[in-house]
Amino acid sequence: MHPTVPHGQIAHYLGEDGAKDVDAIEAWQQVCETWNTWFLRRPTGKPGDAVDKQWGQAVTEQKIFHIEDEQRAVDYAMGLIARSWGHFGDFQDNMRARQSEEKVQAVSAPIELKCPNCGAPIPVDAAGMFKCRYCNTTLKL
Ligand SMILES: [Zn+2]
């Protein structure tokens, strides 16, 4: 992302007179205070590269999701939403009506989070502040 949103673009798209330049990272951080915000990256993105580092500052590294199968991009997004709402099983059942069990499992695997500290599985219905029961690390999901 561009580090700064120029005032001219803000004025053009939002029609605000007197708009000032906005720091893009700070703007995303503010969005994250209210919304469960994720950055979904295309399969061409390399984990840990400069783009990941920049978005990690904006939405935290835990909220960067590397899509493995671009044809299923919407399913990954819906899966993240379903997990956040505690209805991951419903998401999988819905996807089974359209895709093979192998594809459902392949899309589900990266959505099923692991603790970044110890690698333990995190329940798919975990949301908000979550404490890993194995290492006691607190995560913001
Ligand atoms: Zn842990």
What is the domain extent for residue 19? 1-66
pLDDT at 125 over 90: no
Residue 17 CA to ligand 1 centre (angstroms): 49
Residue 106 CA to ligand 1 centre (angstroms): 23
Residue 56 CA to ligand 1 centre (angstroms): 20
What is the average per-residue pLDDT within 59-86? Answer: 90
Residue 15 CA to ligand 1 centre (angstroms): 47
3-state secondary structure of 98: coil
100 occurs within a structural domain: no
Please give the pLDDT value at position 77. Answer: 94
Residue 112 CA to ligand 1 centre (angstroms): 14
| Residue 74 banded pLDDT, cuts 50, 70, 90 | very high
139 occurs within a structural domain: no
Residue 115 CA to ligand 1 centre (angstroms): 5
138 occurs within a structural domain: no
Residue type, 134: Y
Q: What are 20-39's pLDDT values in tens digits? A: 999 999 999 999 999 989 99
Please give the pLDDT value at position 25. Answer: 97
pTM, 2 dp: 0.77
Residue 36 CA to ligand 1 centre (angstroms): 21
3-state secondary structure of 130: strand
CA torsion sign for 20, 26, 28, 31 is: negative
38 occurs within a structural domain: yes
Residue 99 CA to ligand 1 centre (angstroms): 32
> Quick one: tokens of 119?
């690698």
What is the average per-residue pLDDT within 105-124? Answer: 85
Closest CA to 53 of 35, 43, 41: 41
Please give the pLDDT value at position 19. Answer: 83
Residue 113 CA to ligand 1 centre (angstroms): 11
95 occurs within a structural domain: no
92 occurs within a structural domain: no
Neighbours of 103 (CB within 10 A): 16
Q: What are 84-111's pLDDT values in tens digits? A: 888 889 999 999 999 999 999 999 988 8
| Residue 83 banded pLDDT, cuts 50, 70, 90 | confident
| Structural domain total, the chain | 1
97 occurs within a structural domain: no
Distances (CA, A) of 93 to 2, 68, 73, 86, 107: 39, 20, 17, 14, 13
